[in-house]
């Protein structure tokens, strides 16, 4: 093989992109590309972009501006730098990107990453490549099998795509346009990937997709399997200690999935279940197709199956027409449910989505004021949730070296990072850790002599 070249992938946006960035590194590895952690000295720079925020494209263009300088400097030194734009801005803007930013060599849509090596080779010959169509054949199939070494370098926790795309068309969201229709990956394909990951030392998998619990992939029996049944299949794989999934839609919390939360110890008691708003009129205008009461009912079913389940959510404030009273319904929903964490956003109009055309667009200062009020409540809940862990012994998966020598960072079942003093050989083990203190970004704990506290229902309170 030729000499090693350097690849820098910068990831923006959701987990889907984080995962895709790894896939891109995997497809480039056989061509001799090794990942590096900055653009300086890289031979190939990929910007894996997100289109969810307003001015997302503008930010990418200024990012490209900085890369253009690096590219020119490298060229002066006789070195060739290839710049690729991938992800959702690439999907949305396509050809426009190479027109506006001639420094860009490749524009690649999210369905076409398997063709990257060939694109990079052609770009070296001076061609401009734009490839953003949605292939109809199984888009997961075309990816090469990851090499064992690349799996190893992924560490203890890995993402696995189980479905892509979304058919829900929430009126604020670009995903159905940028990521296309919902497609589920067959059960055995997923199981094979998870087996390989487990073989490479991975202990925790997070099943990802834009709408992961809408999963309905084909099982061995030729039938469509619901998500809960897929969980059972994956939980059987030796070495896999923990399973998580994100992101889910409240309407797709089907019975087999709720039952999996009850029956599978590997399925972690933490769920990101975006609700966006606590007001029925706003939910309807968002085309979420469920009510506030429906959301509470889902939470009740989940807590019935897994009393210690901790929840997180996404919220949008200042959706067009949202009144102060309607906004307060979101606050009261947060108070009623109690979240371990949450992401909250000011509504930002996305061109081409129905909400962007709606009357009653709310002024920025108002949105910002609402956001601050909402975040104050969520932050208080998050702090209380973390503080409640102190004095408890929780099972912690030790994942990687920590901030200080001798420290290892692990994760509790509830997604809290914990710093523990422990020998590096313990990385990969799940061990009981007594939580001693809470910091800003993580908990602190000590390896415990005894097992985890049997009932953690109090933690969710």
Residue ranges in contact with ligand SF4 by CB under 6 A = 166, 168-170, 173, 175-176, 210-211, 249
Binding test (CB under 6 A) with ligand SAH, winner from 15, 211, 381, 412: 211
241 in contact with ligand F3S (CB under 6 A): no
Minimum distance of ligand F3S from residue 317's CB (angstroms)? 18
Q: Does 17 bind ligand SAH (CB under 6 A)?
A: no
- From ligand SF4, ligand SAH, ligand F3S, none, which one binds at residue 81 (CB under 5 to 8 Å depending on kind)? none
169 makes contact, choosing from ligand SAH, ligand F3S, ligand SF4, none, with CB < 5 to 8 Å by partner type, with: ligand SF4
Query: Restricting to residues 36-95, which ones interact with ligand F3S according to CB under 6 A?
Result: 50-52, 87-88
Of 316, 309, 246, 258, give the one whose Cα is nearest residue 282.
Answer: 316
Nearer to ligand F3S, 90 or 241 (CB): 90
Non-local (6+) Cβ contacts of 454 within 8 A are none
By CB under 6 A, tell whether 276 contacts ligand SAH: yes
Pick between residue 52 and residue 98 the one whose CB is nearest to ligand F3S. Answer: 52
316 binds, among ligand SF4, ligand F3S, ligand SAH, none (CB under 5 to 8 A by kind): ligand SAH
Contacts of residue 66, Cβ cutoff 8 Å, sequence gap at least 6: 39
Site string for ligand SAH, 301-340 (x = CB under 6 A): -------------x-x------------------------
What does the CA dihedral 451, 454, 459, 460 come to, rounded to 10 degrees?
130
User: Rounded CA gap, 387 and 373, in Å?
Assistant: 21
* Of 71, 73, 68, nearest in space to 43 by CA: 71
As measured in angstroms, the least distance from the Cβ of 395 to ligand SF4 is 31
SS3 323: coil
Q: How far apart are CA 422 and CA 446, in angstroms?
A: 8
**Distance of closest approach, residue 18 Cβ to ligand F3S, in angstroms:** 9
Q: Sheet with 129-131: list strands edge to edge.
A: 33-35, 5-11, 44-49, 82-86, 106-108, 129-131
Q: Three-state secondary structure along 127-187?
A: CCEEECCCCCCCCCCCCCCCCHHHHHCCCCEEEEECEECCCCCCCCCCHHHHCCCCEECCH
Q: How far apart are CA 340 and CA 456, in angstroms?
A: 14
Q: Residue 69 CB: number of other CB atoms within 10 A?
A: 10
345 binds, among ligand F3S, ligand SF4, ligand SAH, none (CB under 5 to 8 A by kind): ligand SAH
Site for ligand SAH in 234-253 (CB under 6 A): 247, 249
How many of the other CB atoms lie within 10 Å of CB of 68? Answer: 16
User: Nearer Cβ to ligand SAH, position 43 or 326?
Assistant: 326
Write the CA distances from 429 to 163, 314, 316, 371, 400, integer angstroms: 29, 31, 38, 39, 11
Quote the least distance from Cβ 386 to ligand F3S, whole Å.
Answer: 26
Least distance CB 362 / ligand F3S (angstroms): 22
Of 256, 291, 348, 361, the residue at the interface with ligand SAH (CB under 6 A) is 348
Please identify, among the stretches 135-143, 156-164, 345-353, 392-400, the one whose residues bind ligand SAH according to the rule CB under 6 A: 345-353
Measure the CA–CA gap between 445 and 191, rounded to whole angstroms: 34
The footprint of ligand SAH (CB under 6 A) covers 14, 52, 172-173, 175, 210-211, 247, 249, 274, 276, 314, 316, 345, 347-348, 350
The footprint of ligand F3S (CB under 6 A) covers 13-14, 16-17, 50-52, 87-88, 174-175, 178-179
């Amino acid at each position: 093989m030729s000499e090693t070249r350097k690849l820098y992938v910068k990831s923006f946006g959701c987990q889907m992109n984080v995962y895709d960035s790894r896939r891109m590194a995997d497809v480039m590895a056989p061509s001799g590309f090794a990942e590096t952690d900055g653009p300086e000295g890289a031979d190939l720079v990929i910007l894996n972009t997100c289109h969810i925020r307003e001015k997302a494209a503008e930010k990418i263009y200024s990012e490209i501006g900085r890369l253009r300088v690096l590219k020119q400097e490298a060229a002066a030194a006789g070195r060739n730098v290839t710049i690729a734009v991938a992800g959702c801005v690439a999907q949305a803007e396509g050809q426009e990107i190479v027109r506006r930013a001639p420094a860009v060599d490749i524009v690649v849509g999210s369905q076409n990453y398997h063709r990257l090596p060939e694109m990079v080779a052609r770009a070296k010959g001076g061609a401009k490549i734009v490839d953003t169509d949605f292939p109809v054949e199984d888009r997961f199939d075309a990816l090469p099998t990851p090499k064992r070494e690349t799996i190893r370098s992924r560490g203890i926790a890995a993402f696995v795509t189980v479905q892509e795309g979304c058919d829900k068309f929430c009126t604020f969201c670009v995903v159905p346009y940028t990521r296309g229709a919902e497609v589920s990956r067959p059960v055995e394909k997923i199981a094979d990937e998870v087996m390989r990951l487990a073989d490479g030392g991975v202990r925790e998998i997070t099943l990802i997709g834009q709408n992961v619990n809408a999963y309905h992939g084909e099982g061995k029996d030729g039938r469509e399997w619901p998500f809960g049944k897929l969980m059972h299949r994956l939980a059987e794989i030796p070495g896999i200690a923990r399973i998580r999934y994100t992101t889910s839609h409240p309407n797709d919390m089907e019975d087999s999935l709720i039952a999996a939360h009850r029956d599978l110890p590997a399925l972690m008691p933490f769920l990101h279940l975006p609700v966006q708003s606590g007001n029925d009129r706003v939910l309807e205008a968002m085309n979420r197709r469920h009510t506030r009461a429906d959301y509470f009912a889902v939470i009740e079913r989940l807590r019935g199956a897994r009393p210690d389940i901790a929840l997180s959510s996404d919220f949008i404030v200042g959706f067009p027409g949202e009144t102060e009273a309607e906004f307060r319904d979101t606050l009261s929903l947060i108070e009623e449910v109690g979240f371990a964490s949450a992401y909250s956003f000011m509504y930002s109009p996305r061109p081409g989505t129905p909400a962007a055309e709606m009357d009653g667009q709310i002024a920025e200062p108002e949105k910002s004021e609402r956001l601050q009020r909402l975040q104050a409540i969520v932050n208080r809940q998050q702090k209380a949730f973390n503080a409640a862990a102190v004095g408890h012994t929780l099972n912690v998966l030790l994942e990687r070296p920590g901030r200080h020598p001798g420290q290892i960072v692990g994760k509790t079942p509830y997604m809290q990072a914990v710093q523990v003093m422990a020998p590096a050989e313990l990385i990969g083990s799940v061990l009981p850790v007594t939580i001693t203190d809470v910091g800003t970004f993580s908990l602190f704990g000590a390896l415990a002599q005894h097992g985890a506290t049997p009932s953690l229902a109090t933690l969710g309170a």
